[in-house]
Structure 1
Amino acid sequence: MSQITVVEEVPLNEPVLVEGFPGIGLVGKIAADHLVDVHGMVHHANVHCEGLPPVVTYAADNRALRTPVRLYADPETELMALQSDVPVTPAAAVEFAECFAGWYEETEVLPLFLSGLPREKDVSPPDLYGLTAGPADPRAADVDLEAPPESGLISGPTGAMLADALRRDLSAVGLIVESDPQFPDPEAARTLIVDGIDPIADIETPIEGLTDQAEEIKEAKEAFARRMQQANEESSQAEPLKMYQ
């Protein structure tokens, strides 16, 4: 059963919902958090589905406690975002997916489920791929999203929610972006927003802050790599010869 508690009513007609659970490169969370911030989205509802950890969170410089998973909405852009401060374990993903789908099945929401595809970073921009479940939705039909070049599997809460949408024959879009498998990847989140979310939702999102984050993380990763290289050069170590590989 859906357990969505409304905090503030927001007039919406046919919103696009962006799912922001943590995952590879934190791309979904970075994208959803950025959308909430730059569009000034309103805290619309709290999510109390089974499968979520029994914890509370709090924000910096704010004494108010809050639920770890929340819905935000913006009536001007007809945009919603699922913001999560916690991951959902694989064992709990199915319970959460059934609960959450029970809510958006009763609305005109088009959910966009976000996932990172592990790829080592290089100088080229990350590729973005699109997948669909259920009936074709006109909000996504005119957006030219490339299909993945190879077979794959989507796991975790994102995969569970897409599987539930497929089972219920509900319209849903899966956006997969190539992402850093080890570090937060704001560049991949930027690609999600500019090439996927904005065209489908028919909005324009400022992304200057994400560009700054990408440069800062790049510099931090390079500094980390230099420190690791120096440590390896200065310390004794044993390495396998790999004679049989």
Structure 2
Amino acid sequence: MDTNFTKIAIATEGREGLYSVTRSDAGNWTSGIVGVGRLVGSMRGISAPTMAHWLGSADLVTPSVMRNIDHKTFMAIAQAYYWRPLNGDALPAGLQRMLFDFGFNSNVSRAARQLQEIVGLSGADVDGNIGSKTLYAIRQDKDGKGGRASAGFISPEWAKHAQADADVAPDGKLGPVSLLAMSGPAWGFRMQIYALASLQEQAYRSFKGFREYGDGWLNRLRWRVAASLADLDAATSAAAA
């Protein structure tokens, strides 16, 4: 099992709760629709519909089955349904966690399409499939070929975080001074992380449950960004050694 996957997945598992049952949560019902199917709960962030898919039938998913999802099962599902569909092994350090944790917490296709958008893909190329075209676009954007498309996706709030990171006065506007400070090679993937943070926050705020769960989602996003930047710094240091 890939060491980056193991480290990142274990951290995501730690952010998820253990067994819980919430009648109003669609992910606790075997059908994925509130009131349809059986209310069986969730465990380690694994929803009832995901477990039904894993076992091959919703008929096999019971509260007991959900309670007994262990670490090994979590890791197997996380790799098969989240890491591999996001092409995690091919992604640069930093982006791996940003996509995996958000994809696990939200939706794999949404996470992939956001990445494709920030690196300059459009139209039919924003298909949720992180293949060679997307990986090439990530590198092109990171190296600033024709400018960094990702800079245009950074919200004012996350621009302030990026500016503080670059030792620039944090006014939330990525003007010439800020962009010059962020023009070095170390800033390519960093800017993509801040751009993803902006779109992920936007997505969270659009979700129906934001009023109830929003504080927790945004706290998780802040953790995800800090951990992703640390991943990037560690990889950069290792490469320079």
- Relative to the length of structure 2, the TM-score reads 0.30
Going by fraction, where is strand more abundant, 1 or 2?
1
Q: Taking CA–CA contacts closer than 8 Å with sequence separation of 6 or more, which of the two structures ends up with the larger relative contact order?
A: 1
